Structure 1
């Protein structure tokens, strides 16, 4: 692996979100500011959206790592699509509520009791729903109903919804979600990082795993990484990881633009299944594919026919020689004469 080649403790550009690689881009700092404000209110909904690979899951990991577990009880649900009843069961499980055989009314009652138990310990409850763009409207309505639970005029549950950009369209559609929209107290969309942030991002992730300056990236290479990734963290990680692997194979200590472009070409070939074919000289135009295939088949058949003919000729010669030997042996036995001279026949049989 390239981490061993470059003396790193682990891979710096792995695709699995890891809070220790958290990097404060401008958009992520703004998102954390909105989250801080929303959590300080202790009520309603906070909404974070972003394109795939923008760092939403990393943001959640960074947020939960910053939360004091003595003050906030976090319930996390990761789902792309879940119906209202199943959603309630997941929330109940996060509160250690047993829900076997319960109807909806009893289930809601037990969830409220669970939230009260948490509140009596001096904690507030935060429900984080990742991939929220897949939630049906009915499930979003159930979440709004859960946000109504209160104790002494204070909400028992605050909800953070994290999803792809289409989740904003879901929330804007129809009158059924009007009450939910009115309870959104903070909203932010994660943008890709800017071109001036890419170099610092690379250096940060490399430094986390013990980087000592090897390998290095020219400014042209950094610009190429941004150009081909669009500043989206996951795409940048994928491309940078492949560049590092390419460098380990080719023994490169300083990457240039050509190295990045070569890796991009390889990635595109991997995705499409097409590779570069050698150019054909203009003086020898290529034959149509079917003609090429037919010519190749004829050559194979002719070669096989020649091999069979050669084998048949050898077998025929060996058969004749064997018959001559047997005839001489029979004659010798019947005549009780001296042993015949077979030297000439041995040569032909061989």
Structure 2
């Protein structure tokens, strides 16, 4: 609907995260660079946290894509593993190996054999787990165990944990001291400033094949300023919700109503700082 009105070639905020659309602002590049260095060098575990919808999945997918020239990338998009065996089966599936109804120890051995059996051109596995704040203690401990796999002193499993800010508190639990001591890189995604949000929106319009100048008119900007917030704009880079474009139109088909324009702004609209 708004794609046609604003003459866009594609949706600027697709429902499914596309790592090709990642936009770097502020110190995000430095933060992701630190995590990437931690993972590629095998220094230890990398942790990425942020509030819901902050772009963690997008960043995780981008790193899984970009760091796999010498690593086999596996991205587990859900942290809903109730038992270690469910995690191990997902890892086997990611490696392209079949799995049977085995007990936990058999599955551990199967995972170890699969990883040790990787081609000599590979430095190991980049294992990224999204929504890691949902993981229970036994599964997190299982992940720590996977990082023990090595070949001639070279770690074969590079672990990236991504999740909401609760993950930080969970990792600090004394029961997970063994895991937490291996964390060598940590980054937290922060909300965008107003200026960064506007720049981000312009970049997304260009990504969609549109002209930011024709979309972000002075009338719409005034509407947003008077309302005190922009209809659900992405906070940090990667947000994929769609702004309510049709509510701020200024054509005969979308009459300008001044202060009444955001008459149906969703309650999820975010305040900009």
TM-score, L = length of structure 2: 0.84
Aligned residues: 264
Shift of 1:89: 1.3
Residue in structure 2 matched with residue 267 of structure 1 by the alignment: 265
Match of 2:12 in 1: 12
What stretches of structure 1 of length at least 5 have no aligned partner?
272-350
SS of match in other structure, 1:159: strand
- Contact (CA 8 Å) 2:233, 2:242: kept in 1 or not? no
Q: Deviations over 1:98-128 (max 9, x none)?
A: 2213222222112111111225233321100
Partner residue, 2:181: 182
What do residues 286-331 of structure 1 show as CA deviations (whole Å, max 9, x unaligned)?
Answer: xxxxxxxxxxxxxxxxxxxxxxxxxxxxxxxxxxxxxxxxxxxxxx
Are the equivalent residues in 2 in contact too, given 1:46–1:187 (CA < 8 A)? yes
Name 1:227's counterpart in structure 2: 229
> How many angstroms does 1:152 deviate by?
0.7
SS at match of 2:74: strand
Larger RCO, structures 1/2 (Cα 8 Å, 6+ apart): 2
Alignment pair present for 1:102 and 2:102: yes
Q: Which has the larger radius of gyration?
A: 1
Q: Distance in 1 between matches of 2:47 and 2:182?
A: 11
Corresponding position of 1:131 = 131
Give the match for residue 111 of structure 2. Answer: 111
* Contact 2:44/2:158 (8 A) holds in 1: yes
Matching residue of 2:51: 51
- Residue 236 of structure 1: CA displacement? 7.3
Q: Is the 8 A contact 2:131 2:164 kept in 1?
A: yes
Assess if the C-alpha contact under 8 Å between 1:195 and 1:226 holds in 2: no
Q: How does 1:56-205 map to 2 (within 5 A)?
A: 56-67=56-67, 69-82=68-81, 83-118=83-118, 120-173=120-173, 175-205=174-204
Distance across 2 between alignment mates of 1:124 and 1:250: 59
Query: Which residue is equivalent to 1:285?
Result: none
Distance 1:119 1:171, change over 3 A: farther
- 1:79 is paired with a residue whose SS is coil
Distance of aligned partners of 1:262 and 1:248 in 2 relative to their CA distance in 1, 3 Å threshold = closer
Q: Structure 1 residues 156, 235: CA separation in 2 closer, same or farther (over 3 Å shift)? A: closer
CA RMSD of aligned residues (A): 3.0
- In the alignment, structure 2 segments of 5+ residues that lack a partner are none
Deviation, 1:17, is 1.8
Q: Which residue of 2 aligns with 1:338?
A: none
SS in 2 for 1:214: helix
Q: 1:177 to 1:119 in 2, by over 3 A?
A: farther
1:290 paired residue number: none
Instruction: Give the SS at the match of 2:64.
Output: helix
Greater helix percent: which structure?
A: 1
Compute the displacement of 1:239 (Å): 6.0
CA contact under 8 A between 1:5 and 1:248: conserved in structure 2?
no
The 5-angstrom pairing of residues 170-319 of structure 1 reads: 170-173=170-173, 175-212=174-211, 213-218=213-218, 219-221=221-223, 223=225, 227-228=229-230, 229=232, 232-233=235-236, 238=241, 240=243, 242-244=244-246, 246-247=248-249, 251=253, 258=258, 262-263=261-262, 265-268=263-266
